[in-house]
């Protein structure tokens, strides 16, 4: 039952897995394995070597600690009195780990989850309280996100749970009950679920399922009948993973921000970079492929303006063969969601061959680029299933913004006051992205105008031009419409000859200093018959005088506007592709990770 349930959750993480099972009064048996779930299935002979009637399981997407058997869940306390699995990120796990070390605890893994388990064990033993009180005391201390399922050796036949931010449901069966991160895991056994609320706990036995609040009081919750089929359930009720992942962008941005903003200031020491090293870099090269390269194009403006450091952006497939003239004290930044892209890995090796330091901005813990880079900044976007990247792109952008602020401080060009302003603006982005997504129907309506067009131009200047590159790639790769991102000032040097009546043009203008310039370029194409959609920040209402249709994004510090303008661009491409009946999650000819040249 556990292995089958986990197989329905593999899309949420698949670098290692484990189960903990007990049969009546007997002790809990834990079996874990690195790699896909199939390795664990083989190791337990399909579960037959660990019979039992009560258990918890986990398939992992590493955030703290490499994928390994040791770091795989379930995690256990020293005497196995507490066993648990966890989905989420305990932000203050280091401070809690130090507290436990001072109280005689030792640790066998690098995970935040093991800290949570031993904190439960600590309160359970020190205060001699029951499971619910021990867990409640932990919830008060832990910051971050968690969906925890916990078994206590002294409480056979019972499973406890606690939730904050990370999703969790209870499944109500007949003579059996379930706890899971998501509906697909239990759909085979029941369609009756209770959604566990934030800061709520649960206690289940075969006969009973209770939701308990932080005061220890049982609370009544509504039972929901799931009507989705299994496949729709995997997408959380969304039609495609891509839309599900667009909805996850605020969370990916927030988790990535919180990994490097501590006590209100910037702290990227987790990458391994020291202030001294950051101060020593004379220039930055940013290297990536596809959308990762487009992140670099945006980051160039942010880094040069905030950190006052020269930046050069290169396609990995070009960089690896051009014998780049790297200064010894340069920093090469390799951006890669998968951390396995062949060209990007080759670019990393070329930089290291030249003795230049490499920082990887990567979404997959333990991936090749993460392992070979000198420093690693992990984006916390979680697994991205759709081939067209959305939340990973946004998290990478945030990673570069944070790097720019950290470099600016180390190089003495950003004062604390300015840093606080920038970080506060960054922390406002998740809410602003949410607001744009909420207004998606307007974009869906506009997408219907693309039904029979064959070309789209995306125009912008500066950082908006870089954002257009990503908008153009999204449109090409999932709707198969030819499109091109163009520096608005370049139009008159040739391309404007392509503009005729009805040509679709998307103009992006958020940068105040060059706003009027971009508008005048948009007027040029408008007078030649183009249909013009403008994307700009709220307040720039003069765009209505020029564009046929305007999409507004909330105001933000201009350095970070691409995090906002990319959302309508992603949604536009998505709706056009859906209108065209294309398989959005698996566009033709493309793979999620290009591990060959
Ligand atoms: C983006 O939508 C594409 N799927 C593709 O361009 C991707 O960004 C590129 O292949 C780089 O992949 P990586 O980030 O895993 O290195």
Best mutation site among 241, 249, 252, 292 for ligand 1 pocket (most ligand atoms within 8 Å of CB): 292
Residue-wise pLDDT for 486-523, tens only, equals: 999 999 999 999 999 999 999 999 999 999 999 999 99
Domain with CATH 3.40.50.10490 in the chain: 237-437, 439-597
Domain with CATH 3.60.20.10 in the chain: 2-230
Q: Is the peptide bond before 74 cis (omega within 30 degrees of 0)?
A: yes
pLDDT at 452 (0 to 100) = 83
pLDDT at 227 over 90: no
Q: Ligand 1, closest atom to CA 387?
A: 4
Residues 6+ apart with CB under 8 A from 310: 282, 283, 284, 304
pLDDT at 233 over 90: no
Q: Ligand 1, closest atom to CA 390?
A: 2
Q: Ligand 1, closest atom to CA 294?
A: 8
pLDDT at 26 (0 to 100) = 85
pLDDT at 399 over 90: yes
Instruction: Provide the pLDDT confidence category of residue 1 given band limits of 50, 70 and 90.
Output: very high
CB atoms near residue 364 (< 10 Å): 24
Question: Cα(86) to centroid of ligand 1, in Å?
Answer: 29
Best mutation site among 288, 344, 389 for ligand 1 pocket (most ligand atoms within 8 Å of CB): 389
Residue-wise pLDDT for 123-165, tens only, equals: 999 999 999 999 999 999 999 999 999 999 999 999 999 999 9
Number of H helices, E strands in the chain: 20, 26
Best mutation site among 289, 367, 370 for ligand 1 pocket (most ligand atoms within 8 Å of CB): 289
Question: Cα(360) to centroid of ligand 1, in Å?
Answer: 15
pLDDT at 231 over 80: no
Residue-wise pLDDT for 328-381, tens only, equals: 999 999 999 999 999 999 999 999 999 999 999 999 998 999 999 999 999 999
C-beta of 337 in contact with ligand 1 (< 6 A): yes
pLDDT at 592 over 90: no
C-beta of 290 in contact with ligand 1 (< 6 A): yes
* Average pLDDT over every residue of 280-307: 98
C-beta of 593 in contact with ligand 1 (< 6 A): yes
Is the pTM of the predicted complex or chain greater than 0.85? yes
Tell me the C-alpha distance between 376 and 363, whole Å. 10
pLDDT at 517 (0 to 100) = 95
pLDDT at 576 (0 to 100) = 96
C-beta of 387 in contact with ligand 1 (< 6 A): yes
Question: Cα(430) to centroid of ligand 1, in Å?
Answer: 22
Q: Ligand 1, closest atom to CA 338?
A: 15
**Cβ pair 168, 97 in contact under 8 A:** no
Q: Which of 552, 555, 286, 475 minimizes the C-alpha distance to 397?
A: 286
CATH number belonging to the domain at 439-597, selected among 3.40.50.720, 3.40.50.620, 3.40.50.10490, 1.10.357.10: 3.40.50.10490
**Cβ pair 115, 182 in contact under 8 A:** no
pLDDT at 307 (0 to 100) = 98
C-alpha triplet 414, 416, 417: angle, nearest 5°: 100
pLDDT at 298 (0 to 100) = 98
pLDDT at 555 (0 to 100) = 97
Question: Cα(582) to centroid of ligand 1, in Å?
Answer: 19
Question: Cα(384) to centroid of ligand 1, in Å?
Answer: 11
**What is the per-residue burial (b if ≥16 Cβ within 10 Å, else e) of 80-103?**
bbbbbbbbbbbbebeebbebbeee
pLDDT at 193 over 90: yes
Q: Is the dihedral of CA 141, 88, 112, 278 positive or negative?
A: negative
pLDDT at 271 (0 to 100) = 97
* E strand or H helix that includes residue 255: helix 249-258
- The full DSSP string for 291-311 is HHHHHHHHHHHHHHHHH---E
C-beta of 338 in contact with ligand 1 (< 6 A): yes
- Residues making up the chain, counted from first to last: 597
Architecture in CATH for domain 237-437 = 3-Layer(aba) Sandwich (3.40)
Name the CATH superfamily housing domain 2-230: Aminohydrolase, N-terminal nucleophile (Ntn) domain (3.60.20.10)
3-state secondary structure of 314: strand
Residue-wise pLDDT for 25-46, tens only, equals: 889 999 999 999 999 999 999 9
pLDDT at 536 over 90: yes
* Average pLDDT over every residue of 261-274: 94
pLDDT at 150 (0 to 100) = 98
Instruction: Provide the pLDDT confidence category of residue 237 given band limits of 50, 70 and 90.
Output: confident
Question: Cα(137) to centroid of ligand 1, in Å?
Answer: 43
Tell me the C-alpha distance between 568 and 553, whole Å. 8
Q: Can you tell me which residue has the tokens 């536009």?
A: 572
Instruction: Provide the pLDDT confidence category of residue 594 given band limits of 50, 70 and 90.
Output: confident
pLDDT at 591 over 90: no
Question: Cα(289) to centroid of ligand 1, in Å?
Answer: 6
Instruction: Provide the pLDDT confidence category of residue 321 given band limits of 50, 70 and 90.
Output: very high
Residue whose CA is at the smallest distance from ligand 1 atom 16: 336
C-beta of 291 in contact with ligand 1 (< 6 A): yes
Question: Cα(336) to centroid of ligand 1, in Å?
Answer: 7
Instruction: Provide the pLDDT confidence category of residue 593 given band limits of 50, 70 and 90.
Output: confident
Best mutation site among 242, 246, 252, 291 for ligand 1 pocket (most ligand atoms within 8 Å of CB): 291
Question: Cα(502) to centroid of ligand 1, in Å?
Answer: 31
C-beta of 471 in contact with ligand 1 (< 6 A): no
pLDDT at 232 over 90: no
C-beta of 360 in contact with ligand 1 (< 6 A): no
Question: Cα(388) to centroid of ligand 1, in Å?
Answer: 7
* Average pLDDT over every residue of 274-298: 98
pLDDT at 10 (0 to 100) = 87
Tell me the C-alpha distance between 202 and 168, whole Å. 10
Residue whose CA is at the smallest distance from ligand 1 atom 8: 291
Question: Cα(549) to centroid of ligand 1, in Å?
Answer: 30
Weakest-pLDDT range from 125-129, 411-415, 450-454: 450-454
DSSP 11: G
Question: Cα(239) to centroid of ligand 1, in Å?
Answer: 22
C-beta of 389 in contact with ligand 1 (< 6 A): yes
C-beta of 292 in contact with ligand 1 (< 6 A): yes
Q: Is the dihedral of CA 405, 411, 416, 417 positive or negative?
A: negative
Question: Cα(474) to centroid of ligand 1, in Å?
Answer: 11
C-beta of 317 in contact with ligand 1 (< 6 A): no
Q: Can you tell me which residue has the tokens 């018959």?
A: 529
Mean of pLDDT over the chain:
95
């Amino acid at each position: 039952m556990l292995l089958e349930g986990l197989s329905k959750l593999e899309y949420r993480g698949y670098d290692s897995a484990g189960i903990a099972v007990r049969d009546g009064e007997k002790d809990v048996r834990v079996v874990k394995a690195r790699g896909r779930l199939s390795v664990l299935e083989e190791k337990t002979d399909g579960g037959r070597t660990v019979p039992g009637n009560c258990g918890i399981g986990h398939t992992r997407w590493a955030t703290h600690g490499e994928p390994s058997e040791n770091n795989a869940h379930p995690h256990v306390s020293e005497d196995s009195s507490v066993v648990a699995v966890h989905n989420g990120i305990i932000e203050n796990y280091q401070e809690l780990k130090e507290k436990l070390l001072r109280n005689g605890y030792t640790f066998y893994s690098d995970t935040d989850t093991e800290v949570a388990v031993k904190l439960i064990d600590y309160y359970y033993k020190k205060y001699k309280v029951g499971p619910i009180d021990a867990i409640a005391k932990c919830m008060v201390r832990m910051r971050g996100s968690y969906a925890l399922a916990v078994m206590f050796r002294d409480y056979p036949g019972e499973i406890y749970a606690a939730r904050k931010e990370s999703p969790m449901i209870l499944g109500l069966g007949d003579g059996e009950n379930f706890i899971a991160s998501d509906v697909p895991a239990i759909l085979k056994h029941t369609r009756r679920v209770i959604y566990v609320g934030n800061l709520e706990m649960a206690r289940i036995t075969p006969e009973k399922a209770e939701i308990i609040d932080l005061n220890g009081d049982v609370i009544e919750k509504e039972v929901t009948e799931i009507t989705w089929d299994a496949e729709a359930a995997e997408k959380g009720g969304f039609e495609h993973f891509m839309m599900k992942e667009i909805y996850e962008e605020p969370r990916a941005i927030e988790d990535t921000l919180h990994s490097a903003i501590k006590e209100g200031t910037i702290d990227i020491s987790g990458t391994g970079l020291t202030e001294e090293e950051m101060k020593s870099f004379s220039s930055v090269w940013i290297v990536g492929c596809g959308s990762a390269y487009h992140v670099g194009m945006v980051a160039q403006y942010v880094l040069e303006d905030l950190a006052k450091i020269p930046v050069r952006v290169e396609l990995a497939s070009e960089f690896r063969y051009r014998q780049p003239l790297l200064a010894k004290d340069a920093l090469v930044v390799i951006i890669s969601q998968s951390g396995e892209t062949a060209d990007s890995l080759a670019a990393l090796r070329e930089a290291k061959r030249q003795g230049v330091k490499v920082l990887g901005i990567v979404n997959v813990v333990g991936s090749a680029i993460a392992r070979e880079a000198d420093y690693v900044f992990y984006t916390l976007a979680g697994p991205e299933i759709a081939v067209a990247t959305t939340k990973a792109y946004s998290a990478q952008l945030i990673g570069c913004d944070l790097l720019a602020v950290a470099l600016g401080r180390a190089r003495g060009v950003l004062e604390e006051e300015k840093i606080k302003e920038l970080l506060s603006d960054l922390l406002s982005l998740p809410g602003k992205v949410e607001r744009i997504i909420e207004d998606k129907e307007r974009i869906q309506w506009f997408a219907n105008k693309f039904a029979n067009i064959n070309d789209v131009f995306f125009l912008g200047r500066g950082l908006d031009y870089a954002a257009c590159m990503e908008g153009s790639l999204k449109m090409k790769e999932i709707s198969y419409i030819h499109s091109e991102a163009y520096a608005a000032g370049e139009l008159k040097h040739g391309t404007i000859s392509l503009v005729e009546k009805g040509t679709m043009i998307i103009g992006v203008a958020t940068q105040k200093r060059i706003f009027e310039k971009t508008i005048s370029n948009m007027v040029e194409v408008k007078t030649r018959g183009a249909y013009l959609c403008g994307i700009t920040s709220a307040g720039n209402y003069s765009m209505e005088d020029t564009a046929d249709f305007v999409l507004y994004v909330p105001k933000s510090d201009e350095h970070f506007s691409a995090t906002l303008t990319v959302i309508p661009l992603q949604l536009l491409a998505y709706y056009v592709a859906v209108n065209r009946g294309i398989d959005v999650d698996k566009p033709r000819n493309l793979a999620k990770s290009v591990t060959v040249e």
